[in-house]
Amino acid sequence: MNFKGSFFSCIFFSISFTCYGQNTAKHKSSVDNQYCADLQNGYFLNPILKGNYADPSVVRDGDDYYMTHSSFDNVPGLLIWHSKDLVNWQPIANALTEHVGGVWAPDIIKHKGLFYIYFPANGTNWVVTASNPAGPWSKPKDIKIGGIDPGHVVAQDGKRYLNIAGGNIVPLTDDGLSANGPMKKIYEGWTYPKDWHVECFCLESPKLTYFNNYYYMTVAEGGTAGPPTSHMVVSARSKTPFGPWENSPFNPIVQSSGRSSKWASTGHGTLVDAPDGSWWIIFHGFERENRTLGRQTLLLPITWTKDGWFKVPGNADPAAPLKKPAGKAVLHGIKLSDDFSGNNLGPQWNIINNANKENFIVGDGALTIKGIGNSIKNTQPLTLMPSNNSYELTVNVSSGTNDAKGGLILYYNSQYYAGLEFANNRIYRLHNNGERNEVANAINQDHVYLRLKNDHNDLLYYYSLDGESWKRIDFVAEISGYHHNVLSGWGYLKPAIFATGNGEVKFRRFKYTGLN
């Protein structure tokens, strides 16, 4: 089976949806009851993308915006989102269909009619190109540059460069596909007060914008996680891409206000202008009381001062409704439920840890997963990105052939997870580091329905023999600590289905329902 051409569905449009609601209590989608930022009254409420959409990079092309994020070890990777108003986003393609390593902090740009995405993975930086963001995208090319967080810039003489975390810059060849000289340091960053609570200095995320005869460098400082005030957006400007740099008097441009703020560790910003002349900054942050979702994508307005500096208006609160940018709303989001009615794995699913794509087979209304490993510790689950603080998952799981076992879990990594498994006519509750407890036996049929309910990080477990009458298991797991500050790894808690053992397990009627 051809992975690039047929394994994952290329039809993104059909699984997007519109938002509804006229107030903050109903900003949800009409499909799966997912979160949606558009309040349908001329305002929006952050985040614009809920879930682990970290390290956003955005480019405008006429009336259209295109955005991508870190995709880590997910395959396919570098999901491209399209918008016309910066609030409603529709997935249109994956720019990366092969595994080259963990993908961090990309930069999407357009230069002379061609779109480029620069991204670090496996100790080097890569580039993919396309004439249309919807694809097809080229195979990734190693441009032989170390470091992380690439940021593309074009000098006034037309020469191209790549900025790298740490305040460094590298010249590129004219086609932008290779390094063309040594890396050198050009920027030392902004010095914040020594008594601030941060994770580290961590000068990262250089993004360059040319405006009004200045190059504006937007960077991140303070570390990406840690205390709520750690991460921040910092700006400096220069007449050239090489400095000298003058730090903004309005630094930090974006920073969490403290422990009581809804959004923590806010940073990694990218400036973007709208066709009507307004300016905006897109960045990420942890939802302080729900870090398990990872770093979500947020949007704030930008204003320019008379002396040429930009800042966020003082009344622009990322936790409050804000006036929407102009532009038509596209169909928003990506459907997460799946009846496996086609012949391809839908684009909501992610293969992780470089798993063999041939282990996942779609057909006849079912997903067949070949067993991998003998436990969660060494299997390779199929995952997706949740888009609500609370949600419910339901799936039909068949008895595995031979000694195969299958189930439904919330997965942080191979050590930290929680969920249910169906094996040998029994149901087991699974928990961290191999814990496995029988909760039901003597099930005299070849399939069961499993359900997990994440209720504000209280996890409830259910099973059913017919999908109608449900039995709740007498146990509730508290899962609020499944995030980077506790477990490291830059992960997030994600719904997953899996199979272990030597046989196969069939899954049918996977349903995701947002609950808030």
Phi and psi at 98, nearest 5°, equal: -130, 160
Using omega within 30 degrees of 0 as the cis cutoff, is the peptide bond preceding 136 cis? yes
With H, G, I as helix, E, B as strand and everything else as coil, classify residue 13.
helix
* Angstrom distance (rounded) from CA 516 to CA 513: 9
The Cα 173–Cα 165 span in angstroms is 20
Q: Which two tokens stand for residue 102?
A: 């963990």
Strand partners, 282: 270, 299
Residues known to be catalytic: 55, 204
Tokens of 403: 């000694």
- Which residue, chain included where needed, has tokens 């390094």? 179
E strands, 84-185, in order: 90-96, 107-111, 114-121, 124-130, 141-142, 151-154, 160-164, 168-171, 184-185
Using only the alpha carbons of the chain, give its radius of gyration. Answer: 23
Q: Please, which residues bridge with residue 49 across strands?
A: 297
If DSSP codes are grouped into helix, strand and coil, which group holds residue 15?
helix
Which residue is it, tokens 């879990």?
A: 409
Helix (H) or strand (E) holding 67: strand 64-68
Q: Could you say which DSSP state residue 3 is in?
A: I
